[in-house]
A = this chain, B = another copy of it.
Amino acid sequence: MDRKTLEAHIASRKSLLCVGLDPVIDRLPEGISRDVNGVVEFCKQIIDATLEYCVAYKPNLAFFESLGPKGFEAFAKTRAHIPDTHFVIADAKRGDIGNTAKRYAEAFFNHFSCDALTVAPYMGRDSVEPFLVENNWAIVLGLTSNQGSEDFEQQKLVTGEFVWERVISQCVQWGTPENLMLVVGATKPEAIKRIRELAPQTFLLVPGIGAQGGDLEGVLKHGCIKGGGLLINSTRGIIYKSSGTDFAEAAASEAKSLRDQMAAWL
């Protein structure tokens, strides 16, 4: 999906919402079989219930991979259930170079037909460029909100930049606002202000709203640009809102509530 189409969906649905799909067999709600078929059924029902309130889905590969080869079939079925009207992010945080990176791009962009893949930047330019292919997107880890972000991301370089600032300023040179996005944690809305200086036109994927305590208002205030410029992700707050048979309605209601707060800004 290209940027123009993504922005058209944002405008028509008045939403920046991305729904994360982290299916855990032990947490599947009442009425869903606790097996790999249940994982697919759960994801399908969540997708059907939230379609009108969101513009993107972000299946997290770890939750499918932990089920082995059948988990990948479940991922393929889940992905196939998401219509063309929605942007699909494979949250796989791949990070490798050259031929290996090309194979990952092939896996997620061609085989699984995802629009975007999350990518780790540690190995530098040659770990990002293979994912910058037309009509697909690399979503590179910029500044994350976990405690460990202090260990390397928030270290200061002799140039005066933080490591994460250098990652962002380099990445926006390698890619364009049409094929590269950045991951920025929602618990650091002040940092989003700085990121907008470094990457004024780049879409930001912002996880951490809801269960992780991110500040939606702050993210919108500092991150929103013409056309949107944000994909704001919520996972557990939506998909595990209810563990009863009403889980899909509860997910819809939570997604609608987040969408309504976003609509006020758009």
**Interface on A for B, CB 8 Å cutoff?**
22, 24, 60, 62-63, 65-73, 75-76, 93-101, 103-104, 106-107, 111-112, 120-128, 141, 144, 146-153, 155-159, 163, 166-167, 170
Contact = CB atoms under 8 A, between A and B. Distances in A.
Contact of A93 (B76, B96, B144, B155): B96
B98 A95 contact: no
A62 B101 CA distance: 7
Given A153-B123, A157-B156, A103 B62 contact: yes
Given A62-B107, A107-B68, A123 B144 contact: yes
Given A122-B120, A124-B152, A158-B157, A104 B66 contact: yes
A141 B124 contact: no
B151 A170 contact: yes
Nearest to A151: B124
Contact of A148 (B63, B123, B149, B151): B123
6 pairs of A and B residues whose beta carbons are closest in the complex: A124-B148, A124-B151, A62-B103, A69-B72, A126-B148, A65-B107
Which residue, of A63, A94, A123, A127, has the highest number of chain B Cβ atoms within 10 A?
Answer: A123
Copies of this chain, complex-wide, total 2
Contacts of A128: 148
Contacts of A101: 62
Contacts of A151: 121, 124-125, 166, 170
A140 to B, nearest CB: 10
A99 B22 contact: yes
17 contacts: A65-B104, A67-B107, A68-B107, A68-B112, A69-B69, A93-B94, A95-B95, A95-B141, A122-B122, A122-B152, A124-B147, A126-B146, A127-B146, A127-B148, A151-B170, A155-B157, A156-B158
B158 A107 contact: no
Nearest to A62: B103
A122 to B, nearest CB: 5
